Structure 1
Amino acid sequence: MDDDVTIRLSPDQALVLSDWLDRAEGGPALDAAVDDRAVWSALHTISGTLDTALPAIFASDYAARLAAARGRLLASLGDVGL
């Protein structure tokens, strides 16, 4: 298979996922959850792509932007995951 797979995320989803991956990578919970070492290839690619695509992660008001993005995503989820 020579074709890349494209995943589309909203800016809010991308920001929240980027933050989560940054916090989770190298941590014991994610290390324990990843039971196939090959999965790290995809995780590092996703993380690196998000880092280069999101100038907001370098903004001085990053924490506020992240909190706002989380709030919008949670509101859109309704009761999913409760």
Structure 2
Amino acid sequence: MSDSQVTIKLTSDEALVLSHWLEKLQMTDLSRVVDDLAVWAPIHRIAGTLDKALPELFAPDYDQRLEAARQRLRPED
């Protein structure tokens, strides 16, 4: 198998919500959630890439931005 790369495109809302979730995941005992050690490397790579791409993570109104992104992504009933 080759080491070709895969590109995933996310909206800024998707990236922000996913980044927050990945941060929470990494703060837990990953072995309870991720039973294959090989999966940890891509989880950390994705989280790191999102951290670098999202200046909102350091904004003083981060919580409000995150909640607004969540609201926009939730399906309407």
* Shorter-chain TM-score above 0.5: yes
Letter in 1 for 2:14: Q
Percent sequence identity over aligned pairs: 54
Match of 1:7 in 2: 8
- The Cα of 1:64 is off from its aligned counterpart by 0.4
Per-residue CA deviation, residues 3-28 of structure 1 (Å, 9 max, x unaligned), is: 21001111000000000111111313
RMSD (CA atoms): 1.3
Match of 1:52 in 2: 52
Per-residue CA deviation, residues 16-54 of structure 1 (Å, 9 max, x unaligned), is: 0000111111313x4312110010000000000000000
Q: What SS class does the counterpart of residue 38 from structure 1 fall into?
A: helix
Q: How does 1:57-72 map to 2 (within 5 A)?
A: 57-72=57-72
Q: Which runs of 5+ in 2 are unaligned?
A: none
- Cα distance change, pair 78–31 in 1 and its aligned pair in 2 (3 A): farther
Match of 1:35 in 2: 35
Give the TM-score of the pair, scaled to structure 1. Answer: 0.85
Give the TM-score of the pair, scaled to structure 2. Answer: 0.90
Count of residues paired in the alignment: 76
Letter in 1 for 2:20: D
CA contact (8 A) 1:25 1:31 kept: no
2-structure distance, mates of 1:64, 1:26: 21
| Moved segments of 4+, more than 2 Å | none
